[in-house]
Structure 1
């Protein structure tokens, strides 16, 4: 398997897929009674707000459709201010550098980073199943149980990961995961010694497999559950004709370590920039 090289077209392909995923999930939130959710296109990316405290509240995919003008940015900031939500922009380091300059000039500050890793799927990857761990597809009939495990797993960060300020109320997190893991998303359940230990999901679009989250319950960590979930999705993505799998991780996290052990390589980094709502 040759090393991946991430050029601008590849980064744009991944960022457009991520923006589409955020928009589709937030559109589901918009349909709930009394929702204040919105989806706004901005310079090739998308600004989304689902509800207060949601991980869907962000600007994603910016950087490959031109530099947003001051009027566009002001419109996004006004929309977030109207719902009392800070603006958070995820900006790939391969994006047009003028965008970062425009954002910092408007008062945005660097808050954190996240890594985008990829794996070339051409070459017939083998499944890896640690002893005692079984991975199976998760159907609609057990979606509620799948979602419950996902919320519990995501809600309890690994104590070996670097500290993160990304904490979300459980009910809000569960709704976001439900909206992200609905129609067209492949879901997986990991069973460890006969007990459900973790879950994962994957979205396949135009030959790109997005590994859209994996969670292991705290009591089952260090058993190879994440390795098995990664391996199953890699094999299924290759079987579906995808040429590339991508996953987003916190830098220096166990998730990044596990992904790299399964052949993923760092493609690029996103800077997470934040701006508080203006005080009237």
Structure 2
């Protein structure tokens, strides 16, 4: 466990935030590309303002605009183009805007009628002197191969369908089938980890490595196995592997005030910045639900 009295908080400037947001945009774009190959639907991943506008399929968590605001001012014509693309798929636009992005971006989105619906926190920690801690008795965390994909997918999706109630809740709910599709689309891009308790699959997580950044792209514990140390074990193992792979920073996205944020801060993570989640429905009023 990290000794907080010896911990120097990680400072995030605009350059570091831009690096993290670019990695996020590239990851979302790659997942969106995988979704199109899987389903042959008319999805898209369109570049905009240094980020990406992604659409995978109806109700997908990959339907978002990510990473924008770090490559010069956004062009209103580009926003109109992506709004038209989402409207053509019968979907709203959801833009995630980092608090360190170009402030003019928020003004532009407000002028176009975007509405603030939620926030999410991006936490990070430098990967210096990182070693996996010994998990509690009975817990075993290991990288998960293709032969265990079914078990990994089942436990991760089950955890997502029953989120923790501490802190600000997610503003979206996704059907089981859509969550399974999103995890399959990301499967070839991430390192997967399966946690077992006394030999039984109890939790799972994943990690994406890019540009020296270890993106902790999700972790969950099945409801029956919570409060047993599984999340902490998953986090510790991934941090040690990220450091061994040569990454200099690890990042995780959490809901404000959540148990995931609490667990990450206990492991030495600091709040780097917040993302505002804004949305607009570009469809004609008669076609909106």
Q: Normalising by the residue count of structure 2, what TM-score does the alignment of the two structures yield?
A: 0.93
How many residues get paired?
Answer: 279
Q: Give the CA RMSD over aligned residues.
A: 1.2
Q: Hey, what does 2:194 align to over in structure 1?
A: 189
Q: After TM superposition, list the pairs within 5 Å mapping 1:64-103 onto structure 2.
A: 64-103=70-109
Q: Which stretch shifts more, 33-42 or 67-76? A: 33-42
Q: Hey, what does 1:279 align to over in structure 2?
A: 284
Deviation at 1:198, TM superposition (A): 0.3
Q: Hey, what does 2:181 align to over in structure 1?
A: 175
1:86-131 deviations in whole A, cap 9, x for unaligned?
A: 1000000000100000000000011000000001111233424122
Q: After TM superposition, list the pairs within 5 Å mapping 1:1-280 onto structure 2.
A: 1-183=7-189, 185-279=190-284
1:47-89 deviations in whole A, cap 9, x for unaligned?
A: 0000110000000001101121111000010000001111000
1:137-187 deviations in whole A, cap 9, x for unaligned?
A: 10011112211211111111113343332100110111011112324x211
Give the Cα separation in 2 of the matches to 1:93 and 1:161.
20
Give the Cα separation in 2 of the matches to 1:166 and 1:131.
35
Give the Cα separation in 2 of the matches to 1:10 and 1:37.
30
1:18-72 deviations in whole A, cap 9, x for unaligned?
A: 0000000000111134402111000100000001100000000011011211110
Question: For residues 23 and 223 of structure 1, do their structure 2 counterparts lie closer, same or farther at Cα, with a shift above 3 Å needed?
Answer: same
Q: Normalising by the residue count of structure 1, what TM-score does the alignment of the two structures yield?
A: 0.96
Gaps of 5+ in 2: 1-6
Q: Hey, what does 2:3 align to over in structure 1?
A: none
1:5-24 deviations in whole A, cap 9, x for unaligned?
A: 10111000100000000000
Q: Which stretch shifts more, 78-87 or 154-163? A: 154-163
